[in-house]
Amino acid sequence: MDPRDRIPRDDWTDQDLLTRSEAAERLEAEIAEIAKKIEAGQSDDLLERRLAGMREALQHYRER
């Protein structure tokens, strides 16, 4: 990218970035919430696929 094409100042700050451990913590909390819904009988295909995807992402964060 040509430096002249850049915006004068970046529009994000360090606070906008998550560490891997912070992302994993948030995923764990969301996984617990979704798992509770499924256990309570509020399950559907989309919710179960979402849970599987979040578990896979969490595993990815833990492996590195």
- Is pLDDT at 7 greater than 70 in this prediction? no
Full-model pTM: 0.69
State the number of CA atoms in the 13 A half-sphere of 41 facing the CB.
Answer: 0
Give the tens place of pLDDT for each residue, 8-43. 666 666 566 778 888 899 999 999 999 999 999 998
Task: Residue 57: name the closest of 33, 29, 34, 23 by CA.
Answer: 23
Q: CA-CA distance, 51 to 31, in Å (whole number)?
A: 6
- For residue 16, the model assigns a pLDDT of 64
Can you read off the two tokens belonging to residue 6?
Answer: 């850049």
Mean pLDDT score, 33-62? 92
